[in-house]
Every structure is written in structure tokens, then in C-alpha cells.
Structure 1
Amino acid sequence: MFQRRLLLLATAAVGALGVLGFQLGHLTLSRGAEHRRAAEERLIRRHWTPTVRGSILDRKGRVLAQDRPSYDIAVDYRVITGDWAWDRASVAARRRAGGAWFDMTSDQRTEEIAALLPTYRVHLERAWDELARLAGMERAALDKAASEVRREVEGRHAYTVRVRKEKEYATLAERGEARTPEVERAIERRAGQEIAEQRSPHVLVRRVNDEVGFAARFLADEEVDLDLAGASGSEGAWTDRVPRMPGMRVHDAGDRDYPMESLLVEVDRSTLPGPLRGEGRAEVRVDGLAAHVLGTMRDRLFGTTTDPTTGKVTPGDADARRLYLGTDLAAATRAMGADGQDLGAYREGDRVGATGVEASREHALRGLRGVQTRHLDTDARDYVPSVPGRDVSLTIDIMLQARVQAVMTPELGLSVIQPWHATQRVDEHGNLIPGVRPDGSPLYGAAVVLDIDSGEILAMVSTPTFTRQQLRERPETIFGSGAEVLVTTPWINRAVQKAYQPGSIVKSLLLAEAVTHGNYRPEQRIECTGYLFPERPGSHRCWIFKRSRTTHNAQLGHDLDGAEALMVSCNIFFFTIGRRMGPEGIADAFKDFGVGQMFGLGLARAGQEIESEFPGRLGSMGDDPRGADLTIGDAIQMGIGQGPVLWTPLHAANAYATLARHGVWVQPRLMLDAPRVEPRNLGLDERGVRMAMEGLRLSVNSNTGTGHHITMDGRNEPIFNAPGVKVWGKTGTAAAEPIRGDPDGAEGPLARQILEAGDHSWFVVMVGRDRPRYVISVVSDYGGSGGKVSGPITNQIIHALIHEGYL
């Protein structure tokens, strides 16, 4: 019996050993590599070194946006309070005592710790001295910063303890439970627990340069041996390896700098309209230069979101980067470190492009971090340097951009309602038009300058703009809901985001299309009768009949051909063209010139372009923006650029450039490295193009043309005065929806009312010394007359082109 039991015990033991052996073999063979890697990782310390974001340059290499590297030095809170010395002395005392520690009384343990404490405190003091020297500041200033952090954190902790206790005692009362000493002690213990700020590092030294930042990083990784033998009174060597700079952290705190955000620009007073003309030069300060184009940054990472209504998924920053690397093998290869980690991965506190080029070119501008690796077993060090982000070059000429913005700044006087504008303040029945502002009020709008041959955008200005300081300190003046912001809308890039009816500037385009499709023959003439429908003299009137009760036939002495109709901007002629083209034909004509199409300029992240560019629209505000619901009545109104058609100043500039190229459509470009889209020939009839160009020439060069002069105090003054420059162009006055809002906010006593009303003012020209070289498109919101308001602005932009060497 005994032998059988012994045999059973032996068998069980062998079985247990077999199981252990199997597990050991499994861990060694199957997961050995994994465990070996884990062990090796514990012997490695990595520090990420920051990278530098790429710069944004203008077409001539001027820096528009750049990183200004700087670093913040933070220190753990328990180092700031001095508790680190006690913590470290406690660990050392326990390690030194070994098993005897558990036999010691509380007083004995405290005595052991106290014996070592001075050594750690001395080390901490030396570390503070070294940090002060490194940062180039007085020790007293460093101590003051640490004291302020401690005072703030202690205040937060005290407040949190009080709130916790109040909530606990309130819950206790609600439950009707007794408030015993034991319960009170438990509540006091829970309420007194640390807050996050007591476990975190706090910045003590801000915005240090590269040299100091990198020196601090290396010091933070250094360790030294503290001699504890003398402190404890023991014999023999006894050391503790501690950080040279306990609890120090170095954070990337680089700023994004926009060195040309504010400039002073000179304007020649002698080229201004009469009432503003003078000797010498006017000095104009422009702020927020190209802010809409360059965009903004944010220092908070966004996660992926899903629209609950549409189900549209917008990738967050991390997912967007993964998608980018998944579609660009070369970028993915560059970004991967030796251990397979993405060196450009987003980390908390990273700065990210939020809008404009900063957002659309985020992946190109974003650099790759460097890695400093220290092997603890050998003390060997490896360093993979950071890779700066790539620079991005724009087609914009920033000095031309500055001059255009200066021209549109109200301080110069052109973008202000002037007496010579003769702003209409009463309707034809003598009633005051609500929302029309008085003389002296600022005007806002947009301007685009486009190179005809290349399609490159040389300037794209929207006013009012904003500065980064304003965005940081007074965001409500940009994004607020007050009456002023509802009118000025500084966040909108009017050049590409705001929808405008085009008005009469489209008449030249429709003339060329009408000839091409047989809706009008160049030898035909059309009578200006003052109003289109004989039985309805109160509707579809020509502007000259509405204003002076006469006709263009009476003015010129004969029926009008296409060029003459453009010269005088005859509505009856182009009402007729719209009726002949019909809904489908006129919709196709507008589509030919880009209405309904985004240009893909690169002003937003992939998938968010619709938020940065208005594509234009035909038809009502239904689901189909392509004009499927147009009627013959719509087509008639669209013949003069009114009715259900909307576009942007960039659409206008590109349409005129297409006409100047005799019908060759070229994709506008904002990035010099953007791929060129194959040009598209619209196949316009050359006779129609020639007639349209002749009409545009007459419009600004003939005394009868609507874009030729401004009448002030009974005398005519030419709009354009740049010697040797040829101009082809067209004015436009387009109906606009009034802006309605609550002038004193939802809480105020005033009722909702019209804040601004009137017509938008357009002027689009082609300019060159021998042939059309550039297109200038200008719109002034609620400015009224195209010639009187936008004309002088356009003239000054021509002078800006001359000054910058383009003409």
C-alpha cells in the first residue's frame, strides 16, 4: 500500500514537472523573442526630439509662415515641493535596511530616512542652481516661479478637497446615514487625495531657444551617483544613482511666426480720384496680410467625428495621417523609424494646421521627430536626427497682395461710402431704403489678380481680415454673433467662399456663347426699347430707362450690335440673349465658365474643400445646383447676371481669363507645385470672342462706356489713369440679399432688423501693355455702382501691378 502511494506521488510530481517544463518550453521557444524584446525595452530610454514645421513662401521666396523654435522647461510637482528628496531617501533607506526594515519601529525608520535626507536635499539644491544657470536666470526668479506654481496648486487642491467633502456630506445627509467619527475620517481621507496637478510637471521656464532646449534635454537624461556611505554612518561604498536634474521635462513650445502679417505700404496720392488726390504718398498699414490664404494653427488634436444627420465621417488628425501614409508609400517609408513607429505621429500638445494652406498642406509641412536612444546596460547612445517639414510655395506675390489690401483698406478712402458714389437711399417711390449706410461708412469686399497665361493667382484679398493676435485675444470679433460681425464676417474669404450674383460682368461671356451656339449673329442689331415686354413697362427694364426714362437707341441713334450693347451695358439686349439661349443653353454657358465647380486651391484639408470654396450655383436653393429647375423667366434674368446664378470673385477672374485666351479654360492655381490640369478648349466662335473683347475695350475706353469715367461735381474724370496700359473691362451692379440681424443681441430690447442693404459693386478688367496679361476682379459688398465704387479700386490695383514690375 505504501509503495503504491509513493508511486502515485512520484507520478503526480513528474506530471507537475512536465506541465512546468511544457510552460517553460512554451515561454522560451514560442514567446522567447517577445519576452526578450520586452526585457531589452526595459534597458532602453528614448527621448523624442522636436522637428521644425516647413515654411510657407510666396512666389518670390519670401517667408510668409515659419516655425520659431522654442522650448518650455517643466519640473515635476514633487520636485517643486521638495518632497522628491524625502521620497528618494525613503527608498534608499528601505533598500539599505533590507529585511530588517520590517522589524523597525516607525521612529527608527524615520531616523534612517532623516540620516539620508540632507544628501538628497543638497543634490536638489544643486540641480536648481544648475537649471537657473542653464536658463540664464537668477535663482531667485526660478524660486519665485516655483513658489507661484506651488501656491496655485495648493489653492486648487484646497478647493477640490472642500468641494469633495461638501458633496460627500450632502450625499450622506440624503441617505440619512449617521455622521460618525469613523465616517468622517473616511471622508477626510478620500477628499484629501491628490489632484492631477500634484502628479504632473509644471512649466517654470518658458520659451528658451534651441541651444538651451537641447542642453536641457541631455541633462534630463543624465544620471549621477550620490555617495550615501557618509550620510548613513556606514562603512564601505554605498551609492544611489539618481537623475542629475530630478523631474525635469522639456516640452516643444515652438511658435508659428508670420513675419509679413503686418506691413506699411505707400500709395501714390496723385493717382487717386479727385476728392482724395494729393501730393506725395499715403502710408497705409495693412494687418492680417493673407490670413485667409495662409490659415491658422491649433494646439488641440481632433478625433474622428460622424455627422448624425448625414452620416459623413470626418477623420480626426491621427486617422487622417494614417490615411495619408496609406496612400503615399514614399511618405510612409520616410516616416517610419527603425522600430516601425511613425516619427510624424501626433502627440498631445502638437500644433496642427486648422485652416487655409496650413491645413491643406499639413502632411507636407509636418516634419518628423528625431529620436535619442540610450542603452542602460552599455550606456551607448544612438541619435536619429529630426527631419524638418517641406516648404510650400504659393503663387501669391505677397507685396502685390499687400498693395491690393492697402487699396481696399477704408483708411485710404476708396473703400468708404463717398458722396460721389451717389448711393441710392430712396426707392423710385421716394421711400427710404432700410439698411443703406451713410457716407463715411466702410465698405468690404474682395479682389483677385490672375495671370492669364498660367492661371496662377498673384493676389487674393478679402476684407476685413483678421490677425492672429485678434484670434487669440478677441475671437468674438471674428466669429461672434453681434451686429457688427454679421455685417463684416471677417472669417469669410470673400474671394472664394462668398456667393454673389454676377450682374452685368457676365454679359461679355454670354455674348461669346450666344454667337457660338447660334443664338445671336454678329451682324444682327437689337433695339433697346427701355423695357422687354411692351405690355409691362414696369418690369424687365433697362437701367437707363429706369434712371432717365430714355433708351440706348435714343442715346446712340440706332439699334445696338453686341459690342455696343456691352459698351453701354444694355439690359434689353441681354434680356433678349437670355431668352434666346433658354434655360438649358444659358445653364451650359455658365457651366462652361466654371459655375458649379470648385477649383481645388488647397485652402482646406482633404474632404473639407466645400467649406473653403463656394463652387457656384445655378437654379433655386434645392438639391440640384446645376440648373435643372431653371425656367425661361430665369434665363431672361440670368442674361444680365441676375436671378438664380451665384459665383465668386475667383470665378469672375477665371472666366475673363478664359475669354482672353479665346475660350481656353485653365485651372486656377494657388500652389506652385500643384499639378497642372489639362487645359480645356470651350470651342468658342472666334467672331463672338472678338466682338466681346471689342465691347470690353469700348466699355472702359469710350466716353459712352459705363466703365470709362466717374462724374463728380458735374465733370467727368477717367477711372483709369495708368499711362501705357491697355484695359478691357466691364462694370456690374448686382442685386444682393439684405443682411438681417438683431442689433443689440437676443437679450436686448431692439427687434430684428435690416443691418445692411443695397447692391454689390463689381468691376472686372483685363490689363496689359500689348495684350491682356492679367485679370483683376473686384467686388465691393453693398457698394452700389460698379464704376464709381469698384472702378477706382481696380485702377489702384493696376498701379500696384506696375509698382511690382508686372506691367
Structure 2
Amino acid sequence: MFHRRLWLLFSAAFLVSLALMAQAARLSLGHLHEDRLDRAEQAMRTPKLVETRRGRILDRYGRVLAHDEPGWDVMVDYRVITGEWAFARGRVEARRDRDWWAEASSDQREARTLEHAQPYLEQVEMLWQTLADLGQWRPGDLTRADIEAEKNDIRRRVQKLAAHVWAVRQERRAERDGEAVSIAEVADAIAEQRQHYSVVRDVSERTRVQVEAFIAEAEVDPGLGVWKQVRMERPRQRRYPLETFTVEVDRQGMPGPLRSDQPLLIDAEGVGLHILGQLRRTYEEDEDARPFLVTLPDGSTATDLRGYLPGDRAGSFGIERTQEFWLRGARGRTVTHLDTGVEDRLSPVPGNDVKLTLDIDLQARVQALTHPDVGLLVRQPWHRSATETPEPKILSGAIVVLDIESSEILAAVTTPGMSIRSRREEPESVFRDAEYLPYLNRVVSRAYPSGSTLKPFVLVTAMDENVIGPEDTITCNGHLYPQHDDRFRCWIYKRYLMRHGPLDGAQALQHSCNIYFYTLGDDLGMERLVRGLRRFGLGSATSCGLTDEHPGDLPSDAMIPNMGKTDAILMGIGQGPVTWTPIQAAAAYATLARGGVAYHPTILRDPSPEDARGEDVDVPRSAIEEAMTGLKLVVEDKDGTGRFINVDGQRIKIHNVEGVSLWGKSGTADPGSVRWVDHNFDGKRDPGETYTLANDQDHAWFVGLAGSEGGPPVVAIAVVVEYAGSGSQVSGPIFNEVVRALRLEGYL
């Protein structure tokens, strides 16, 4: 009886164990079967991505400034890029002797594989060198080093993507099986390791024909077998069709030796490039911010067809950068089922167009005025610089034109500029020129002391704070303090030992009297003065849609208690702790023209920026009218400081465009005695950066308004020229020629 029970218990335990073993085997085989089914199913599907079209960039009249255009790229199989193709071919050759292979050691197999791979490695080397040689027929084109850099970048990015996919697979398998899984068990090749990649982009028609000849010859010549792994494709290339203009410059109204009855033809390169921007290869941070493969909360992965893959392009600067996700479309995808021949297709989604407020014709006209051959931005004898016989030096600066009614930017030029050609062929001249910084968009990215162009806003603030009334005057004796004190002298006293006498607000602007505005700064004090200037946008970026905008400088509330009387006095004439950018200057003057209503300037028409317009700065209308009267006197009265320039001892009218009405203010702003060398090439003064002493000239400003004769102002214009001398002498004639360009384009 006892033995029978023992036998029954043993049998039951055996059957239970057998059942458990069978279940484990079933589960294990089932998972293995599932994996095999998944892999087999994947092998029966051939996925292929379909490239999308990036949105266009248009000017205000719909002219195409940037668009995608199909070009030819040399695409090479990833396994050739990594070298795997040559060793795979060598292994196939080595294994032809099956008996030897079966008995050989691993070291022997590796040596035989390497021996047979050698001819294929030589083919690969020939491929890269041939592509480099084909790219040498035109200066500035492809080099072997460029190809190696591109290959390294592709390998790095694909390996990073593969590591991510394998890590997700490993985690999912370990969670499913309940035990650790080695990376080798899940490290099957991902789709991106079986694709072709652009190694040479946008090749010429000549290169395309030569590459296709090699591909065709490879079908009959085994020595060219590697070319079977190459194909020509037409991904879209970014084109900027209006980046170069030929402009006819009218010189009849220019000063002195620049005047001529014969127009000058100027080839303007890089028109609008600082605004439009360009594309670059994506960085890791781009791919991290918008990855092509996304890990979901449950650990699975999904594809974001708007995400970035190795070798993709993204906006580097300008509108291409700020509007990247609006311009960028979504890829499509086709999946061909090899067993049925059925193709599933998901069409690509094109990127959205961006319409700018820019008038590209006006932009080209204004840019042509800055060309050295014209001479307006070359140092001239009448610029009233400290040098008796100034050398013919090219000057740096910026010009911006703003539509007053809409606050839309019509033109924004920085000089010296850059072009697509110079960025490609002469990058050192663009990115390593520490004096001129051609890559820097001075319209928004550099702030300057405002000089006397700030005086209208000091006047309006003083009248708003009841520091001075419309009928009140301040007497200019040539100096703010007693005569023996050299501080705070008026410019007319320092230059001619003269005095302005009693002046009201409009007259003080007309004569640009420093004593008048020193007094207002002193009476207002720092707190009230800063509060008034903030209402006109000083100290804050305009958020106009251009990249790397500088907010300008204005003391913060925390700084004001630590600042003294001298700071407020200096700010009264636009010196001391206050700077602004050309776009801020134009926007502030446009606010005066609207009667004290501030709009945010913008470069974007579509997609439209958030509507934050129509903010009343809340100052008396009488204060605005007094400032506008003064600005009119500056350019129209015979004693206005912006009326004449002196050329060869003769007084010549600055503003000579017929049929227009003008308001304006010149400014000669002291930049300080230290000129800095931008060793970091970022346009910013960084802590610890080296500075270079130089006896530089003042920054020359002219900011004003223009309208049709007898009508209200319709455009605001800001001109600044760095280290150039007198505002009226240097920037006044440039302002005049911008007005002429506006008239020619039908704005006035």
C-alpha cells in the first residue's frame, strides 16, 4: 500500500514537472517563433521614405526668395560608407572553398577574408577618390576631406540611432522574458543601416553624367562593382533665386565728388541673406529635440515623419531658423509587400510657405547704396572725422525702413554683408573678420549709443512729467556748469565758442542743443527718465521675427538707486547707460509719427505674429506735436542741424529728393575710447575678452520719417554708420538716398 502511494505521488510530480517543462518550452519556442515571424514579416516588406518639400519664403508681393528645387545627389550604400561591403564580399569569396572553411580556425578565416576583401577595399578607395576628383573642376567645390567628414558624420548619426533602437529592443525583450538579454541578441541591422545616403550633394550636370557612366560600366566590369552600390537621386535643394541683383544707382543727388549724371551699375550679392538665412546639417540637439524614432510611454517606438534623420537639413539662422517647424514638412512613406506586390503609400506633407513684409526690390536698392563703389559708406573728407586727411576706409553700418501704418519691415540692410558665395568659398572672410563681422545682422544684433537721436523722447518724457511746458524755454550759455568747468559743454560752444541762447523744445531739437537736454536729464532724474524711455521700447527686444536680437541697454529698476546725477545728465543727450538697435530706433520714431501709439515691428506677414499692436504710450498729444515740429525744423529750416553738409567749403543741402516731406534727427554718438576685438566672433562683449585701444570716431546716426509732399509720414528710416564721424555729414546723405529709393519704388 505504501509503495503504491509513493509511486502515485512520484508519477503526479513527474507529470506536473513535465507539464511545466512543456509550457516553458512552448512559451520559449513561441517567443522565438514570434520573433522569427516578426523578422520574416519585416523582410517581406520594403519600406522607403519619400522626401517632402520645404515651404517657400516669399516677399510682400509674393516673389519667391527661397524654395526647394530638385538637384542631383550621389547616394552611397551605408555598408560601403562603413567598409562593411568590402569585408562582406571578401567573406563570400573566402567561403567558396567550403571544405577548407569548415576546418579553418577563426584566425585563419579572418586572414583569408581580409585577403579576399583587399580588391574590394581598393574599389571603395577608388570610389571616394573619384568622387573627390570629379568635384575639383570648379574652385571651391568638393575635396576628399569633405567626403571623409560627411562619411564620419553619417556613421556617427546612424550608429547613435541604431544604439537607441537596440536599447529599446533589449529592454522590451528583458521585460517580456523576465531575464537579462545581451545586446548581441537584439542587434539586428536597422533599416537605416541598409539605406543609401547623400555623400555628395547638388552635383553639376557634368558630374551627374560621369557618375552615371561609372554605374552603367559596373554592370559589365567586375572591377567597378562598388559602383553598383551608388545611385543618383534628386532630393530637393534649397535655392535663393533673388540673392543677387544688378541695381542702377542714381548719383545725381549725391554730395561732392560722388555726384554724377551717369548712373552706376552695382552687382549686389547676398540680398536679404541675413534675413532669410540658410540651411545647415542638423546637430545632435536638433535630432534630440525632434527625433525620427520616438519612444512611447509603454517602451515601444513610433516614427515621427517630421523628425530628423542623419544628414537632414535645418535652418541655421534668419527666417529659415525662426520658422523651421513651419517651413519643414513631413516625409511620406511607401511600403512594398514583396509577397503580394501591394504598395502602401503615405503621401508627404509639404512645408508651409512664409510670407515676409520685405520688399526685395527695395532691399536690393538700399543694399546697393552701401557698396564701396558708390562711396557713401567709404570715409570721405567731409565726414568731419578727427583725421585731417582721412584714408579711404570702408565703413560698417545698418539701414532699416519701417512702414509706419503696419509697422512692417520693408528693408533691413547690414554692411559689410555676406553672400552664399562668400560663405561657401571664402568662409574666413565671413566668420574670422574681427573688425567688420560680416555675419552679424547689425539691424537687430548690435546696440549703439543713441546720441542726439534720443532727444525727441527725452523732450516728450519731460513734458509728460511736467518738467517743462510747451511755452517754457531753457537758455544755452554753452555750458551746464560754471564756465571754468569743462564738463557738459554744448557742441556749438566746443566747436565755435558760441551759445544757442533761450530755446523752446522744438528749437532745442532743431539746433540739437546739449545744454537744453542736459538740463532735462538732470531735472527728470534717472527713475523718471528710464520710465519714459521704456514706453518707447528701449531696453526690450522688439521680437520682430529676426534672429539674435539685442534688447539694447537701459538701467533696470535695481540699478537706478546706485546711479548718480551724471548718468541722468548724460542720458539726456543719448549718452551714458543707454543704447538701442536700428530697429528699435525706427520703431520709436514710428511711434511718434502715430501720435504716441506703439506697434511691434515685424518681418512676418504669414504666419502672422501675435497681434500685440496699438498700445498707447500715454503721453500728451502736445508733447508729440512739439517733438514732431522740432524734427521738421531739423531737416527743413536753414539753421537745422540736419539740413546741410560742408563739402570743400561749400554748404550743400543734404535732402534734395523732390515731392517728399521729411522729419529727422542726426546723432553723433561717442562710442567710448575703447574699441574691442570680437575674438569669439559672436558680436558680444564676453567677460575676460581682450579689448584693443583705438582712437575711433563717433557713431553716425540719422533717424527720421518720410511721406509724400504735404502728407503725413508713411515710413520710418534709421541709418547708423560705425566709427564714422558726424551724424549729419555721414548718415544724412545715406538717409537722403534711401528716401530716393523709396520714391523710385513708389512708396512716396
TM-score if structure 2 supplies the norm length? Answer: 0.77
Within 2, Cα distance between the matches of 1:704 and 1:402?
Answer: 34
TM-aligned CA deviation for residue 752 of structure 1: 8.1
**Ranges in structure 1 where 5+ consecutive residues have no aligned partner:** 95-99, 111-116, 129-139, 157-197, 225-242, 303-315, 327-331, 333-337, 427-436, 554-558, 605-611, 746-750
Distance in 1 of aligned mates of 2:65 and 2:381 = 38
Secondary structure of 1:521's aligned partner: coil
Give CA-to-partner distance per residue, 1:13-63, whole Å, 9 cap, x none. 533432244346767999998886565334322111222222211111122
Distance 1:83 1:753, change over 3 A: closer
2:381 match: 419
Counterpart residue identity of residue 490, structure 1: P
**Matches of 1:203 and 1:513 in 2, distance apart?**
60
Alpha-carbon distance, 1:443 to partner: 1.1
Aligned to 1:634: 567
Partner of 1:349: 311
* Higher alpha-carbon deviation: 274-283 or 702-711: 274-283
**Does 1:779 pair with 2:720?**
yes
Aligned counterpart, 2:592: 659
Residue 707 of structure 1, aligned match among 631, 639, 642 = 642
Instruction: Tell me if 1:538 matches 2:483.
Output: no
Tell me what 1:801 maps to: 742
Distance 1:280 1:264 in 2: 16
1:469 aligned partner: 421
Task: Determine the structure 2 residue equivalent to 1:237.
Answer: none
Kept after mapping to 2: 8 A contact 1:596/1:626? no
Amino acid in structure 2 at the alignment position of 1:729: G
The equivalent position to 2:618 in structure 1, one of 666, 669, 683, is 683
How big is each residue's C-alpha offset from its partner over 1:609-638, in whole Å with a ceiling of 9 and x where there is no partner? xxx01111123xxx8787454322211111
- Structure 2 counterpart of 1:284, from 251, 263, 266: 266
Q: Could you tell me the TM-score, scaled by structure 1's length? A: 0.71
Instruction: Please state whether the residue corresponding to 1:675 is helix, strand or coil.
Output: coil
Encode CA deviations 1:205-236: one digit per residue, 9 max, x unaligned: 864799x99xx99xx9xxx9xxxxxxxxxxxx
Q: What is the CA–CA distance in structure 2 between the aligned matches of 1:246 and 1:369, rounded to whole Å?
A: 26
Determine the structure 2 residue equivalent to 1:175.
none
Within-5 A mapping of 1:48-447? 48-70=49-71, 71-75=73-77, 76-77=79-80, 207=202, 247-248=229-230, 254-302=236-284, 316-321=285-290, 340-425=302-387, 438-447=390-399
Paired positions, count: 646
Structure 2 CA distance for partners of 1:203 and 1:91, relative to 1, 3 Å = farther
**Pairing of 1:381-780 with structure 2 (within 5 A):** 381-425=343-387, 438-480=390-432, 485-534=433-482, 536-553=484-501, 559-604=502-547, 612-619=548-555, 627=560, 629-672=562-605, 673-738=608-673, 740=675, 753-755=692-694, 757-769=696-708, 770-780=711-721
Indicate the residue corresponding to 1:132 in structure 2.
Answer: none
Q: State the Cα distance separating 1:344 from its structure 2 match.
A: 1.2
Comparing 387-396 with 758-767, which one deviates more in the overlay? 387-396
Query: Are the equivalent residues in 1 in contact too, given 2:476–2:503 (CA < 8 A)?
Result: yes
Q: For the structure 1 residues 249 and 49, does the alpha-carbon distance in structure 2 shift closer, same or farther, using more than 3 Å as the test?
A: farther
Question: Which deviates further from its counterpart, 471-480 or 491-500?
Answer: 471-480
**What SS does structure 1 have at the residue aligned with 2:341?**
coil
Distance 1:676 1:744 in 2: 39
Task: Provide the rounded CA distance (Å) in 1 between the counterparts of 2:695 and 2:8.
Answer: 103
Shift of 1:469: 2.8
Which secondary structure does the structure 2 equivalent of 1:691 belong to? helix
Task: Please name the residue that 2:186 is paired with.
Answer: none
Corresponding residue SS for 1:411: coil
**Alpha-carbon shift at residue 143 of structure 1 (Å):** 12
Identity of aligned residues (%): 38
Closer, same or farther: CA 688–474 of 1 in aligned 2, 3 Å:
same
SS in 2 for 1:602: coil
Partner Cα distance (1:654, 1:492) in 2: 20
Tell me the distance in 1 between the aligned counterparts of 2:569 and 2:102.
102
Q: Structure 1 206/452 Cα, relative in aligned 2: closer, same or farther at 3 Å?
A: closer
User: Shift of the alpha carbon at 1:446?
Assistant: 0.4
SS at match of 2:624: helix
Shift of residue 503 of structure 1?
A: 0.6
**Structure 1 residue 566: Cα displacement:** 0.7
Would the alpha carbon gap of residues 529 and 467 (structure 1) be closer, same or farther in structure 2, given more than 3 Å must change? same
The 3 A distance-change label for structure 1 pair 633 and 142 is closer
| Secondary structure, aligned partner of 1:447 | strand
Between stretches 508-517 and 77-86, larger displacement belongs to 77-86
Q: Which amino acid aligns with 1:72?
A: V
Contact 1:301 1:350 (C-alpha < 8 Å) held by counterparts:
no
Look up the equivalent residue of 2:327 and give its one-letter code.
Answer: L
1:582 and 1:798 mapped to 2: Cα distance? Answer: 37
Structure 2 CA distance for partners of 1:89 and 1:277, relative to 1, 3 Å? same
Matches of 1:201 and 1:87, distance apart in 2: 22
Give the conservation status (yes or no) of the 8 Å contact 1:664–1:681. Answer: yes
Deviation at 1:594, TM superposition (A): 0.7
**Larger-Rg structure:** 1
Match of 1:64, SS state, is: strand
Opposite residue 572 of structure 1, the aligned amino acid is I
* Distance in 1 (alpha carbons) for counterparts of 2:134 and 2:593: 67
Displacement, 1:643?
A: 0.9
Shift of residue 738, structure 1, vs aligned partner: 4.4
Look up the match of 1:190.
none
Structure 1 contact 496–648 (Cα < 8 Å) conserved:
yes
Deviates more, 1:56-65 or 1:455-464: 56-65
TM-aligned CA distance change 1:77 to 1:582, over 3 Å:
closer
- 2:172 is matched with none
State the Cα deviation string for residues 86-135 of structure 1 (Å, max 9, x = none): 756788997xxxxx9988999xxx9xxxxxx9xxx9xx9xxx9xxxxxxx
Q: Is the contact made by 1:74 and 1:251 (CA closer than 8 Å) also made in structure 2?
A: no
Please provide the CA RMSD for this pair: 4.3
Conserved? CA contact 2:480–2:515, under 8 Å: yes
Q: Distance in 1 between matches of 2:247 and 2:407?
A: 26
Amino acid in the other structure paired with 1:780 = V
Residue 410 of structure 1 aligns to a residue in which SS?
A: coil
> What's the CA shift for 1:251?
6.7
Amino acid in the other structure paired with 1:768 = G
Note the alpha carbon deviations across 1:257-312, whole angstroms, 9 max, x for none: 2222221111112121132111121111212222221223221423xxxxxxxxxx
Query: For the residues of structure 2 that align with 1:517 and 1:463, how far apart are their CA atoms?
Result: 39
| Change over 3 Å in CA distance of 1:32–1:646 after alignment to 2 | farther
CA displacement at 1:419 relative to structure 2: 1.2
Go from structure 1 to structure 2 and tell me whether the alpha carbon gap of 1:42 and 1:538 turns closer, same or farther (over 3 Å shift): same
Cα displacement (A) at 1:521: 0.4
Whether contact under 8 Å (2:434, 2:679) holds in the other structure is no
Alpha-carbon distance in 2 for matches of 1:424, 1:88: 80
- Report the residue type matching 1:563 in the other structure: A
| Offset of residue 364 of structure 1 | 1.0
